[in-house]
Structure 1
């Protein structure tokens, strides 16, 4: 066909030479015009690309030592944006750590703040006193006293002095500062908000440490968190940098069991060189030491806009964001107090792509949603004046349905409280037991010498590269299903969805043959035996709420007392807040046990005034009874939403 076309063109040229030349001329002008237009478009695109590159914000790093009012200097990294047209605000992060929240990755490469970095902020990362390259002495969760005691320093004064220096020495700032951080840095942001510098316009304490005796980090309801307390205090205080304890083995379950009574820690390993461990030993109850350290004692009304952020499966500070939001909400007359809760472990939302925690799939990239739609919008409004500032009181991810929800109050007021009672034969139902038989109970034997592991073995070092510490709260609870020291009850399969939103509270009626006891309560979503939507989750027992309570504190955390053997006592155990849909065909399960090792130390089950001074012969087995009759009806209170 090509050859035939060529013959036709040749014959046409021979027959009508002038016409052919005219056609060629027209074509040539057309091609020239098209080529010229193409070149022009290409040049415009190249110029636009060059202009865009010239306007791309890049960052220059400076490292300085900022002096505090007492002369101590704090190591600070500052990332200053280039190619910005107007002054920009300062985002401050303070931390005791060498890496997390310390700007080791430039902000325009860090998923946590990258979306804000693209539009221009001054990013400031500072190590607190006595940590890493900062001067001074480190004090764990240094008590905030400068507001009461003149001529003293604490984290609030150090923040104030830092902001004052930054405003004077960092060029092109717009006079507005925001602060954020996760975990310890989240607590530092909370502290700053209580006594803010005038330029501090908004904060976001994320996974902040709350009360360290009642429900975060080192204790939960008075029960000591052994593996975490041991490893974290050593890491922070054995040296100025981050130092990991040199365990001689990988699986630490047996190591902690061989450790024996807590008194062996100083005798064999720490030798009174770890101040926080000594504080544990000296303050086994909720005395003035813990009360003064608690932000409940020095934070009241939100003085600047505050966005609390937390995770439903936070293995370290699950209570802090919920506790401090609730506490500050009582005083919030100017509508400055907000909360965001997501389906995350501790700080998981800093990552690039978060669609899964353990074996639970979230259905979307929840980290990107938080970083772009929540965190960026928050600071853009308060520090740059962008957006309308109409923030929901609460932005809360709903697990089970995998949807983001907003609420005018948190928890929502329109939930209907239903009581889920334990029944005979391992059943659960929303009907109260009617039996008058006082002996209607379920029993198990708790042996502190053979404690229930809190997660499947091996139990790796908390912060080792392959540790499953971050995701253990979502671990399949089938690994303890058939243990005789774990009591279990469950409902039949649900005939419709059940949405539970708000505070989960267990009400136990229990007795023990010992004189002290721990009560661990777990609320579990049991997937169908064959789940067509999530085949690999078939039969999975997903823990959606859990907590431990040390029995000696049933009447008072400040004045513990022994339990009378055999006496039925009432225990109220707060399992914290959830927003979860138990889907049709799923079952609800409740498990109760008395050991959770080694995340919780072994209760000797014989009352001793100070468990840190217990001896080996104080540890004893005990028979635990959980009652289920008309008089003593054990139940879990569920705030159920209307569909």
Structure 2
């Protein structure tokens, strides 16, 4: 029988205490992590994207990114952004983005969790993109690889797109226009701004004693399919598990009559308050499937996470310096979500979920400001009332990288 990691982490309380119980303090790196909870010089000086940006580009590079990378959804795109400006002829830096978990590009790419693709996407990558690239530079007499600077799988339509740059939207003629998708009164999502007489906020109680699990319990330990574990697919889990909770606020659009395509990083602009002095904000952009899906009845009503992340409120002003939050004051929180290349199809709906814990993927915020959350004491954890605002002068929205065609 399998124990529940949710219970394991809850019983320890804090990350520091969990490490102490497991004897991790004998590891020098663990001690350094505990000593540097903020993005200070210790972390900045070893950030690979910054190190690469400071060096010249000498060799051709192919960067492979997985849209549902459960272990490093940041790295590949950050490296691309760091070195692409050095590729003045657009022929040395190649970016590939697939509908995969971490490392699935070398596995079977026909499915991911409940998602079934119309081809083996990973095999296509290896045969049509990777092999010609390696042959050109490593095999004598091999032909020039006819591959685009960017090969981006388009989720939603199940199509490979071959692009001149990223984000580009399409091969030619498209523009990517940052477009606000507003969290609106009545738990709606709309592309028009809130109106003056609308309700001004949604409210929920965030209780660290009952944090929102990041997936359905029991929470399995981190591990791969060969060990019978489903950790690789959690980013495509059905989010209905969360949307039924009272401490998760859910905003939904009307049923789409035309496709909505995004290419790039959605940017969260959240106006929120807490009755405490610290808070975490988890924001998820979700594709809600129609109630009935032909040929795949198990996908009826499915809530697929397209892009999501967590932001620790104490870093609202600076990732380097933690600062207490003024209680009961609506404040702006602006942060980027992971890169997406997705089409929300007609008949689907857009959804945004907002919550304040994602446990135990991330440690709980005590919701009372303490110098180092890794060492928060049991008495530091307190309930707080959180509000998400959607008034004209304090509108919360996600800036979507919306693709428009002429």
Q: Please name the residue that 2:134 is paired with.
A: 379
Instruction: Select 2:249's aligned residue among 458, 479, 487.
Output: 487
Note the C-alpha offset of 1:305. Answer: 0.7
Q: Please name the residue that 2:114 is paired with.
A: 359
Instruction: Select 2:20's aligned residue among 244, 251, 267.
Output: 267
Unpaired stretches in structure 2, ≥5 consecutive residues: 170-174
If the length of structure 2 is used for normalisation, what is the TM-score? 0.93
Answering whether residue 141 of structure 2 is matched by residue 394 of structure 1, we say no
Q: Please name the residue that 2:288 is paired with.
A: 526
SS at match of 1:432: coil
Q: Please name the residue that 2:172 is paired with.
A: none
Note the C-alpha offset of 1:391. Answer: 3.0
> For each residue in 1:430-488, what CA deviation from the matched residue of structure 2 results, as whole angstroms up to 9, or x when unmatched?
00102267x70001110111000000112111026122110000000111222000000
Q: Please name the residue that 2:87 is paired with.
A: 332
Q: Please name the residue that 2:36 is paired with.
A: 283
SS at match of 1:564: coil
SS at match of 1:374: helix
Contact 2:266-2:339 at 8 Å conserved across structures? yes
Contact 2:207-2:384 at 8 Å conserved across structures? yes
Note the C-alpha offset of 1:390. Answer: 4.1
Contact 1:525-1:543 at 8 Å conserved across structures? yes
> For each residue in 1:396-416, what CA deviation from the matched residue of structure 2 results, as whole angstroms up to 9, or x when unmatched?
000110000011110117122
> For each residue in 1:312-333, what CA deviation from the matched residue of structure 2 results, as whole angstroms up to 9, or x when unmatched?
0000011100111012123333
Unpaired stretches in structure 1, ≥5 consecutive residues: 1-247
> For each residue in 1:335-388, what CA deviation from the matched residue of structure 2 results, as whole angstroms up to 9, or x when unmatched?
32220000000001112x321000011110111101111111111011125222
Q: Please name the residue that 1:426 is paired with.
A: 187
Note the C-alpha offset of 1:555. Answer: 1.0
More helix by share: 1
Give 4+ residue runs of structure 1 displaced > 3 Å after superposition.
none
Q: Please name the residue that 1:458 is paired with.
A: 218
Measure the CA separation in 2 of the matches of 1:312 and 1:500: 13
Looking at CA atoms only, which structure, 1 or 2, has the larger radius of gyration? 1
Structure-2 change in CA distance of 1:271 and 1:522 (3 Å): closer
Contact 2:243-2:353 at 8 Å conserved across structures? no
Measure the CA separation in 2 of the matches of 1:454 and 1:550: 16
Note the C-alpha offset of 1:621. Answer: 0.7
Number of equivalenced pairs: 394
If the length of structure 1 is used for normalisation, what is the TM-score? 0.60
Measure the CA separation in 1 of the matches of 2:150 and 2:333: 30
Q: How does 1:63-462 map to 2 (within 5 A)?
A: 250-270=3-23, 272-300=25-53, 301-335=56-90, 336-351=92-107, 353-384=108-139, 385-412=141-168, 414-435=175-196, 440-462=200-222
Q: How does 1:472-621 map to 2 (within 5 A)?
A: 472-621=234-383
Contact 2:24-2:30 at 8 Å conserved across structures? no
